[in-house]
Structure 1
Amino acid sequence: MRTSGVLPDAFTCSFLLKACVSLLDIANGKILHGVVEKLGFGSNLFLQNMILNLYGLCGEMADAMLLFDKMPQRDVVTWNTVITQMLKRGDIEGASRLFSRLEEESGLRPNQVTVVSVLAACADLCALDLGKRVHEYSNRSGFKNNVLVCNTLIDMYAKCGSLEEASRVFDEMEGKRTVFSWSAMIVGLAAHGRAQEALSLFSSMLQDGTEPNGVTFVGLLHACAHMGLVDEGRAFFTSMTRDYGITPGIEHYGCMVDLLSRAGLVKEAYEFIMEMPIKPNGIIWGALLGGCRLHKDIKLAEQAIQHLSVLDPLNDGYYIVLSNIYAEAGRWEDVTRVRKLMKARGVKKTSGWSKITLDDGIVHEFVAGDESHPQAEGIFRKWDELVVEMMLRGYVANTSLVLLDIEEEQKVKFIYRHSEKLAVSFGLLNTPAGTTIRIIKNLRVCEDCHSALKLIAAISGREIVVRDRNRFHCFKDGCCSCGDYW
């Protein structure tokens, strides 16, 4: 087109930018940005918003903010785009400031799309404080009865570990609930290990005359898996097709494999996989591998890893699980073999991290053994004080989890420096007495941290909510919501 001497117009540029967004092609996107400016379309708000979105999606936030600051005009879409992309990249403080600026500086009012977008991002980041602020704004702006906003609020509160607030929003929706409202609440209860409440809510849903969908059954099956309700899970899996005509998807099969595997029925889980009408993916085999670890079935674990090495060859978690299974069986040569295999395939072990957000919106991240935090000295001193109290209540560090050939004293120190222990010590130092401590962790909580956090919750009189990669653990008065089944 260019070689033919035909100049592109705004429509041409919009189609090309859409292609760049689909491909996440930032290189050509930047070239097109230059073309847009050269052709005099710099005041075209539609094109400017597309370019802004492309920068954000590709992680080029510095360029996105530069464009945002230079834009001669902005609309709600502009602000939505930047706030959402900031949140997706974990910049809760920046997104919060920008949300405040929207109405103050521009005279624009965040619309329902803004509210839903920000709440959805808050759910992913566990940014509860910002989510509450947006909820308050939503009510002031007349969105309190908007069903989409309410459904997103339920999801946000549940994913941020605040089931009480999720329930409050749900209860206030009486008469306006949709299948998404019921499903969000059921999924939230399931993730928190409150299986019986999830099943009870499903009964209420049916009495209300609301037909369940596939998401509803994902929540129900998760609830059963998290509490070992095998018979109930089987019944739901059968019912979804027989009674509601819902064809099970890969996520439903994954829930069933997880349910059977956790309950120790690993051979039945394997047979279930073999009879699936759709090809099992890495999540399916990973669920079986997790069950093999819990119930020490080395033979099936090796079969699972054969499939995983093809389906998801660079996922370090699977190799680590197999290595742990061998270590617990005292098969150290196999542990070494697995680690050599990881090295040969270029698989790197993911570092565990835990994040905690204070009231000022600043996110503090800790990694295992982290000594770089400005308050490191106080954090370690606080941990040492907790250990003394914990030992008086019978705590002994579970050093069997350290799969390294080092002295026992070093193993204890290694266990003491797990990221969630550092995060909770920091939280106790920096939040008022009685405040709930909320932590996000990228890996599964280990057995020692789980035992320690139960005791710390009792010692401190705090509720400690940890969202790991699988579920929520709500520690209170020396107990955990998972009932030690996770």
Structure 2
Amino acid sequence: MFLHRAFKVAVPTSRYCTSATVFPSPLHLLDLLQLSIHHRSLKLAQQSHAQILALGFNENAFLYTRLVSAYAACGNLFNSRLVFDSIALKSIYLWNSLINGFAKHHAFDEAFAMFHEMIRSSILPDDYTLATLSKISAEIEDLISGKLIHARCVIIGFVSDVVVANSLMSMYCKCGELGEAGKLFDEMPQKNLSSWNVIIAGCAASEDCMSHIDLWNFFRRMQNDGFKPNAYSIASILPACDSNTGRWDYGKELHSFLVKNELDLKMDLDVHIGSALIDMYSRSNRVAHSRRVFDQMRCRNVHVWTAMIKSCVQNGAPEEAASLLHEMQVKAGIQPNKVTLVSVLPACSSLAGLTGGKQIHCFAIKMDLNHDVSLCNALIDMYSKCGSLSYARRVFDNGAFYKDSISWSSMISAYGLHGRGEDAVNMYYKMLQPGTKPDMIAVVGVLSACSKSGLVDQGLSIYDSFMTRYGMKPTAEICACVVDMLGRSGQLDEAMKFIREMPVEPSASVWGALLSASIMHGNSVTRDLAYRFLLELEPENPSNYISLSNLYASYRRWDVVAEMRTMMKERGLRKVPGCSWITISGKTYSFYVADKVHTSSSLIYEILDDLVSVMKGDNCLDFDILTEIY
């Protein structure tokens, strides 16, 4: 209605008006076209187009340039091209409007085709053209096209333009060419804050540890050259700060910098920096710090809620993640998006909450997200871990989404988890039928399924074809699956031979697999060997000492048990207490070792004491040993 009224004032109100009629001027039509762009109103754009033709303004270059942009903004690229083709003398601005329209709607091939057509028409591109095409090259990570645009910039003389140079640097960073981006940066005669931010963001996004060193060097240089970091600078650098990179203290310093410079006060307007802080603390296993940032934010959108939910899931707080999802919808009135649902589904898996998982699935269908591949993959994983293999298969068989390698790997792992090794093997070979090359995750999944189901020959055949037919090198996890497969079947000598001939260095998972098999089959030689290597590789892992202590306790070697406990105490090691949970009437109850938090704990322990008495009377177990172990 508003758009209709806006146009009504621009046209004659009566067909009987003669000399008093006021027709819309070109400036007024330009305003109407801009209004149609702002509101993405195709109807208003068409009405404006009709007035341009009726009033004889079809030679006005400014109107037609704005009209091309208006149709493109409304998603009607066909009309944009028709308007473009109707103009005989095309200015660079008209070319830019159409190229930019194609770019915004991800019609990248058409955008490059228009650029080549422009060159053939002897129209010289300007800085806006080159910057747009550089962004397209970055978007599709096409390094060759990006270099061609760079060469064109050098030929024309736009390489010294700050905006163009920034776009080229961003393209090189997105394509993994940080060296080229740094070279271009050093050659720039003038730099602005965005120039520094591009390099910082590129280094932070790189997986190369040397890039992180360059990142901090750039950050220091930036301040030494008189450029004060803004919120975008900090948000770009925070992903490189966590315990894994050894830069946890840097993250705290950056947070302090935000507070000191009052940039944190912008959290009510710029939620991006708040989400980055939550994510940084989460990756450093500081979920309490993440929650503190979350609680201090005055404005929270769906991205902030999602970051906090993901933080809880990743740090072992699935109940809090489920509670946040409920609070997000009920109290905050914010609907979750696809990323939120994918982030919270692992919480259902941890809690074995099939009902909650089904509710999320129903919500996804209601939001028309059941065709999204990442969400469907998460649903397959959730259903399988919640014990419903049939629902996992129903999601997999849904033809509404494209199945990627993760989809196949998730279904293969689901069969393995439920002890259906034959089905896992069949699914693996079905995945390979279209000529798909197996990835590491799929191989780990199918080998693990073969190990649990005793399919040694099939597993070894898959392992051999993985290396010989596809020419891929196995990871330590794949080798651990083979050792576990051989060990479970009692072939401990073959397992030891495989470890000696492994193409990679044996990891803790390899020796752990051998240890489990040795204990299962009572082979003390390989057991002691596996323990020795485990303690060498993971001297700070309390589980190794606990399992070794329990083993010696079963042989009543209390002297060795005491020695193990002393070593743990000296190293300050403490095992994380085990946790069990059960869902009754839609409510989940969790219990830790020696936990007395539950309101009915007295009754629970009373019943347990009765059970222990019955078991002692039947001499089912040696409870002196049991007490020492647990």
Q: Distance in 1 between matches of 2:496 and 2:330?
A: 58
TM-score, structure 1 length as denominator?
0.72
How far residue 31 of structure 1 moved from its aligned partner, in angstroms, is 0.6
Asked whether the equivalents of residues 419 and 453 of structure 2 are also in contact (C-alpha less than 8 Å), the reply is yes
In structure 1, which of residues 378, 391, 406 is the aligned counterpart of residue 603 of structure 2? 378
Tell me which of 24, 40, 57 is aligned to 2:248: 24
1:114 paired with 2:335, answer no
RMSD: 3.5
Higher relative contact order structure (alpha carbons within 8 Å, sequence separation ≥ 6): 1
Question: How far apart in 1 are the matches of 2:264 and 2:300?
Answer: 20
Call closer, same or farther: CA 1:323–1:116 in 2, change over 3 Å.
same
CA distance in structure 2 between the partners assigned to 1:173 and 1:396 by the alignment = 56
Q: Give, in whole Å, the separation in 1 of the partners of 2:426 and 2:433.
A: 11
Q: Is the 8 Å Cα contact of residues 298 and 326 (structure 1) preserved in structure 2?
A: no
Aligned position for 1:234: 460
Superimposed CA distance per residue, residues 290-326 of structure 1 (whole angstroms, 9 cap, x where no aligned partner): 1121122222222222222221012233234334444
Q: Distance in 2 between matches of 1:363 and 1:173?
A: 37
1: CA distance between counterparts of 2:305 and 2:554? Answer: 53
Q: Which secondary structure does the structure 2 equivalent of 1:317 belong to? A: helix
Supply the distance in 1 between the matched residues of 2:311 and 2:545 (Cα, whole angstroms): 33
CA contact (8 A) 2:451 2:481 kept: yes
| Counterpart residue number, 1:424 | none
In the superposition, relative to structure 1, how do residues 90 and 179 fare at CA in structure 2: closer, same or farther (>3 Å)?
Answer: closer
Mapped contact 1:326–1:332 kept (Cα < 8 A): yes
Deviation at 1:160, TM superposition (A): 2.6
Provide closer, same or farther for how the CA distance between residues 32 and 294 of structure 1 changes in structure 2, counting only shifts above 3 A. Answer: same
**In 2: Cα distance, 1:38 partner to 1:338 partner:** 51
In structure 1, stretches of 5+ residues that fail to align are: 405-410, 419-486
For residues 333 and 74 of structure 1, the distance between their equivalents in structure 2, rounded to whole angstroms, comes to 57
Match of residue 152, structure 1, among 378, 390, 408: 378
Q: How far is the alpha carbon of 1:257 from its aligned partner?
A: 1.0
Native 8 Å contact 2:581 2:588 kept in 1: no
Q: What is the aligned partner in structure 2 of residue 37 from structure 1?
A: 262
Distance 2:514 2:358 in 1: 38
Task: Choose the corresponding residue for 2:445, options 191, 201, 219.
Answer: 219
Relative to structure 1, the CA distance from residue 400 to residue 186 in structure 2 (aligned partners, 3 Å threshold; closer, same or farther) is: farther
Aligned pairs for 1:70-149 within 5 A? 70-104=296-330, 108-124=334-350, 126-149=352-375
Aligned counterpart for 1:184 among listed residues 410, 416, 436: 410
Q: Greater Rg, structure 1 or structure 2?
A: 2
Q: Find the partner of 1:8 among 200, 225, 229.
A: 229
| Residue 247 (str. 1) matches residue 473 (str. 2) | yes
Aligned pairs (5 A) from 1:23-422: 23-25=247-249, 26-37=251-262, 41-42=266-267, 43-61=269-287, 64-104=290-330, 108-124=334-350, 126-173=352-399, 176-207=402-433, 210-328=436-554, 333-358=559-584, 362-367=588-593, 369-383=594-608, 398-400=620-622, 403=625
Q: Distance in 2 between matches of 1:355 and 1:291?
A: 28
**Residues 143, 328 of structure 1: CA spacing in aligned structure 2 closer, same or farther, 3 A cutoff?**
same
Q: Which residue of 1 aligns with 2:39?
A: none
Question: What percentage of aligned pairs have identical amino acids?
Answer: 35
> Would the aligned equivalents of 2:352 and 2:386 in 1 still touch at CA under 8 Å?
yes
Query: How far did 1:18 drift?
Result: 3.8
CA contact (8 A) 1:20 1:29 kept: no
SS at match of 1:172: coil
SS at match of 1:217: helix
Q: Deviations over 1:71-116 (max 9, x none)?
A: 3433321121112223334444443343234445555432222221
After superposition, the Cα gap between the structure-2 partners of 1:116 and 1:381, relative to the gap in structure 1 and judged at 3 Å, is: same
- TM superposition shift of 1:288: 1.1
Counterpart CA distance in 2 for 1:62 and 1:336 is 36
Counterpart of 1:375, as a letter, is: S
Inter-CA distance 201–126: structure 2 relative to 1 (3 Å threshold): same
CA deviations over 1:324-346 (Å, ceiling 9, x no partner)? 44455565554454444444544
Say how many residue pairs are matched.
404
Equivalent pair of 1:147/1:177 in contact (CA under 8 Å) = yes
1:399 match: secondary structure: coil
Partner letter of residue 48 of structure 1? G
CA distance in 2, matches of 1:4, 1:313: 46
| AA in 2 matched with 1:403 | I
- In structure 2, the CA distance between the partners of 1:398 and 1:52, relative to structure 1 (3 Å rule), is same
Distance, in Å, in 2 between the alignment partners of 1:84 and 1:324 is 36
CA–CA distance in structure 1, aligned partners of residues 406 and 464 of structure 2:
22
